[in-house]
Structure 1
């Protein structure tokens, strides 16, 4: 990849970031003479919550949406870093390879913005960004599937191991889905929020459970390729699936306090960050270590992948809290 193309990529991402930041700014209604004063005041003012947000049920309702925004942001960051590395290694041969970088950047900004938004209404710009990210994830899955099947041998273990990873664009789909349901949750009645025709806690729990199963499946494929050389490589194929089963059981059963499910989801959250440390250690152990980072981050274990477990587990904790309050 030439330096001109890399510079163009950086300028494009910076431009998208600036446009998104302007689009996500809350609207102001000051006159021309008070705009500067209003900007300074808003920069230092604490978020104002309406009296309705002081009730415990409404706080739980909006807090769950904010946690899903944060989870979407963390997952988008993982996708952005991973796709930037892998598509850079592929020299961005197809212009569509820029899509996850743009979409991931926008989803990251939307998630950070939504995590600070206490309003009980959907933010239309954020919602559109999340839906676009989900659509990009679906399209990316199709592209990666085509990349696997067009290789000699078609659908085979060798091509699944070494062709475009199927799980990567699905992570972008999950990031968009988590953010979109967070925005939809804000518009639901506070006394009994509903999603997809059922109680919000149940629907969100099942969604996160499916995401954990899919992410664990991708980890299982890549760790199988690595022949499970280290015992710690069994952790992401055992801890998250159990968390998914416990969360699904909590979503489908009668609502009640489930301390063990909460404990296991927290363990899964920690696993994601610990896994990033193990991957960093794997890179350091390659020839040249981090001094040869420009080659080893591409040939070593993917550094941005493990935090996706943390993002989904945090969303699962938010869904569990909401489920425990339902009747």
Structure 2
């Protein structure tokens, strides 16, 4: 190839490159002008009182709707976790009791329905009560109250009635209250959905306050049952003091946040998260307690019934998660 032809080819390539660069720059400048025009039109529409429809970002959902519906969904999740704990615990304990009374099947059915309702409600963002879920939650609460009565009767009919031996080895008095709490958490979640976004209220008070007080009471009741069982175990491990120290402080902080003027409560949020972790860590300790019994997990069919109750500790996690939802709602109230 001659030098003249090579020079001409290089010039042609260079010219094409320059033309392409100018074309790309013009195209980008045109896109920038179109974006600037869209923003300008949106600002002008806002200034003239018309609704601004930006083609760049989707319109955000109202923050009030997000807050109280999200709180309701979290309460549905907490109810489901608590129902799962009740289902596993009652299935084991009532199986050990050979289902002597047909009523012993009731908590299994009720807890299963409450679990399914909680999972369904946790994915539902509707702003109205789901009537079937609400009925299931109310039935679970009634079953919890009836179960508490049955367990009281089981203690009193034994020789010695209200004695330490009967409280330790008869039907656990506080266990059915977990089913009552599961139903209560789910029921208030459904009622919360019917409330106006700008001012949700329950029981004649701001919803965040009512939910915070409910969760605080639930934590205190759960602590009472755990304290009795760990006292029966003679607090053989120092970690057994944790569930009777950490949750009461969380309940006190949450109650104080519910009753005081709404504001940011970082310490309450931190302690509720510690309580959430405590429930899962406690389940790990119970796994270890079962493994340390004679035969360990190889003898699971016996040690699951005679060892520490494996499904019990996550109830703290369920209530603490509900407390976090109540706290978030309370902080948004005025």
**TM-score class, shorter:** 0.7 to 0.9
The alpha carbon displacement at 1:54 in A equals 1.0
Pairing 1:142-221 to 2, within 5 Å after superposition: 142-221=149-228
CA distance in 1, matches of 2:288, 2:267: 31
Q: TM-score, normalised by structure 1?
A: 0.84
- Runs of 4 or more consecutive aligned structure 1 residues displaced over 2 Å after TM superposition: none
Pairing 1:252-271 to 2, within 5 Å after superposition: 252-271=259-278
State the SS of the aligned residue for 2:262. coil
Q: 1:316 aligns with which of 307, 320, 323?
A: 323
CA distance in 1, matches of 2:173, 2:200: 34
**2:91 maps to 1:87:** no
Contact 1:52 1:58 in 2 (8 A): no
CA distance in 2, matches of 1:144, 1:54: 48
Unaligned stretches of 5+ residues in structure 2: 1-57
Pairing 1:247-286 to 2, within 5 Å after superposition: 247-286=254-293
CA distance in 1, matches of 2:184, 2:251: 17
Counterpart for residue 233 of structure 1: 240
CA distance in 1, matches of 2:295, 2:62: 57
Counterpart for residue 115 of structure 2: 108
Once the two structures are superposed, residues 100-130 of structure 1 have per-residue CA deviations (whole angstroms, 9 ceiling, x without a partner) of 0000000000000000001000000000000
Pairing 1:73-84 to 2, within 5 Å after superposition: 73-84=80-91
Provide closer, same or farther for how the CA distance between residues 68 and 53 of structure 1 changes in structure 2, counting only shifts above 3 A: farther
Counterpart for residue 129 of structure 2: 122
Q: 2:249 aligns with which of 242, 251, 263?
A: 242
Provide closer, same or farther for how the CA distance between residues 53 and 186 of structure 1 changes in structure 2, counting only shifts above 3 A: farther
Q: TM-score, normalised by structure 2?
A: 0.82
CA distance in 2, matches of 1:124, 1:292: 45
Contact 1:68 1:178 in 2 (8 A): yes
CA distance in 1, matches of 2:61, 2:72: 16
The alpha carbon displacement at 1:275 in A equals 0.1
Provide closer, same or farther for how the CA distance between residues 258 and 310 of structure 1 changes in structure 2, counting only shifts above 3 A: same
CA distance in 1, matches of 2:78, 2:174: 18
The alpha carbon displacement at 1:52 in A equals 10
Q: Which is worse superposed, 59-68 or 149-158?
A: 149-158
Contact 1:240 1:309 in 2 (8 A): yes
CA distance in 2, matches of 1:251, 1:290: 44
Pairing 1:8-19 to 2, within 5 Å after superposition: none
CA distance in 1, matches of 2:59, 2:178: 35
CA distance in 2, matches of 1:190, 1:143: 41
CA distance in 2, matches of 1:294, 1:59: 46
CA distance in 2, matches of 1:292, 1:54: 54
Counterpart for residue 96 of structure 1: 103
The alpha carbon displacement at 1:155 in A equals 1.0
CA distance in 2, matches of 1:304, 1:166: 17
Counterpart for residue 47 of structure 2: none
Once the two structures are superposed, residues 240-296 of structure 1 have per-residue CA deviations (whole angstroms, 9 ceiling, x without a partner) of 000000000000000000000000000000000000000000000001111110000
Counterpart for residue 288 of structure 1: 295
